[in-house]
A and B are shown apart, each in its own frame.
Chain A
Amino acid sequence: MDQQEIETSGLSRRHFIQGASSVALAAGIFSSSSLNALAASVPGKKGGSLKVGVVGDVKDLLDAHWIVAIPDIVRLNVGFETLMVYDENFKPTYKDGLAEEVSTKDGINWIIRLKKGIEFHDGKTLTADDLVYSWQRLSNPAEKHSKALRPFLNPAGVSKVDNRTAKLTLLQANADFMVTLATYTSTVVPVGYQNYAKSPLQIGTGPYKLKSFTPGVESTHVRHKNYWDSGKPYLDEVRVLSFSDTTALTNALQGGQIDVAINVPLATLPTLKKNKKLDVYSNSAGKITPICLVIDMDPFKDVRTRQALKMLINRKNLIKQVLSGNGRLANDDYSPADPNYNANKYPMQEQDATGALKLLSAAGFSKSKPVVFDLKAPDDDAALSGLAKAFVEQVNTASGGVVKATATTVASGYWDTTYMAPGVNAFMTYYNPKPYFPQFSGMIFSYPETNFPEPGSNIKDLYAKALGEVNPKKRAAMVAKMQKEEHERGGYIIPYFVNAADSYSNKVKGINKRNSALPLDYYGMHFKNIWLDK
């Protein structure tokens, strides 16, 4: 799951920049000035207060580098910015980021130069000292958020070059470190920054600065007058309101008490779409809700059991049943926007009960000795518990009794007590969209949910090598090998990519409806592109 989104890895992008010269070229194409000029030419009305609703509770927190739940992601994004930002193909770009240029020659030494004239909320100018502090905080092994970054960077590897430039020296080559720079939790904070629990003063460079915050109730963010992206932001303030559940959230949107509802249930989309006062934005960037089968536990130790279960499901029907059609087919794979997605061109797995039963029989299972397991799901996400139930029903029916699975919805506490707990062999998880390598790293290192790979596998070495490989073709070949092993022996069943849906009043303007890692195109790019038409 996505408790922590800091991912340090990379992948071979078509646009991988081989050395500083092509970085400069990319910087030219995406120069902030030309794009800002374009954006500024779209007239937006100034003023107004935007009310954003999101399901949250007393656990809501505010830390520029760490999130637990969706409201934390929203609040982090209002006040803090990263060096680079993904475009719709998950390629890191300079537009909307704080970096003017990022370059490397060897994948180990990364030079980052900041844009000129960026001011923090308290009027201080952003310098390389802040950059050094931010990356030292991000990579500090004593901090929770450093986990994924730890193999790549420690605080000693962060140094200042000049007033606007800093250098990151990685512990191992990572040709696609830009992905980490563009991860939304890799924000830049001023020297001395502490999270809200330690200091209510939350200073960042973002378009709105924090005025008040009460966990489980609301936060108010007011316009940053000296924001660097000229002419923006438009609103006077952004208010993030916490809701106890999605029913209250969607009611408030339909009743007009809030302008934006983040993460509305897919089942409500038909109603919301009918409402002429509302807009619905369904993002299909590749969110997944995998069924995790732990591969070193019975009955999944035998690879044939895993394969058979993948063949027993009808993916199209699952999309209809669980997502009301709001998703697209996946082949137990992930990161569909990645250039190396499905590198081996595997055909989509159709339901094949005969083939599956052959495998199960070969593995020693029959009606009298069925495959028995209990699939656990949390009660706080209907997409997860719904899939668990539908999956179990399908495999039981299609196998004619050779599989006897059950699904259990665990009342609150799932993520503490059940998820990845010892002895639990089948459970649900979810991941927001991200490129192939960070997703791989998440599933293997940060959250080893299925205990993949099997003993003797060299996939981890392959991953490390591929990370350091600067030649895109060579990397693609390595990725293909990795995907082959995952496809043939993996413990994840991923039947589809889930659309993430948000809805907002049609008075809300300026949202770029593109696929993005975060809802509403990074919440209207930290809400700076959003304006209210009254």
Chain B
Amino acid sequence: MHPTRARINPWQLAVLLIPGIGSTAVLGLPAITAAFARQDAWMAPLAALPASALVIWVCGRLAARFPEETFAEYAPKVLGKLPGKLCGLLLFWYFFHLDAAIAREFADFLVATAHPRTPAALAAALGGLAAAVAVRHGPEILARLGELFTPIAAALLLAIVGLAYSSMDGSLLKPVLEHGWRPVLVSGFVTQAFTGQFVLLLVLLPSVNGVPAGVKASYGALAVIAAALVLVSVVSLSVFGPLTANFVWPFFKVARVGTFGAVLARIEPLVIGFWIGGTCLKLAVHLYAAVITFAYTLGLRHWRPLVFPMGALMVAYAIGHLNNLVEHHRMLAHFWPPYTQVFQLILPALVLLVAAVRGMGDRREQGPNEGGAIQDGKEARGHGAD
């Protein structure tokens, strides 16, 4: 079945993207950005906003040009068969690699917090299994899972912030911009590796009812994610100050610290549980993207049989490609940001550029000022190129 036959509404897209992108960032990102920008780390998500919005814009333009098609299907039309397929494979590799990194993060977090004696491979395998089962149900079910999960998770996040309020000290955020803008921009670049994951839209937008509404919802999701990241960074920094950079998952520590007198304490099992859920969702979304991109690059008719093998490979890669947590976080901080930009921004922008130059795709949504005759002509040309 073609994935674009499944229909997701824009609201579902937003609530799928929020945990599908934000869930790993929420716990760990403040530590990475704080290493670069110290007390100004909370500005990093804001610094990353324009570039992330650009990713959404590029994906939206591509989806508008090639409605109901995924990247892997139109890339060969735009770039020519071989380069197009190659781009499809590159995008697949990005999703696959990212998924493995998420699985690694998942396993590391569980082993470090709740299951010290469980092998990381088992934890990653279980996460991969749950994700694969979810993916096999198709994008609609994934979106509905997001609908159930996101509101509750958001409430939990706010609850943690509320509980940590008494431990917060605003003065730890000062002095603002002590070292100027440069560290903020650098940490923003790191953050972009996370918020740039909106490149998922290349695969998801074709399944959404109404591309413009879907793009709008994605901007909304970006705003929510950025707001959540700012909030999480502010809270982590104002609770732990300069210590934030020393933790691996500072916001989890915040959840540990937070209490409401003697009435409400020890909510970290809840946090772990929700984080497992959110990360499985993120794993699932990216696994779905990887499988779809792979299947359509190779022109396969069915993508479902790929899900479990791909999941197994992904878990194996997740466990095998890094030795330990430290390496993983070094990679996330130094190698990951420039590396992901190739796939998140450069690759889709390249395809969009070529498509625009070659005048391919449906351009009806370009604007109302275009005359009907011209529009028809362009449409006809677009179809001729198919």
Partners in one complex: no
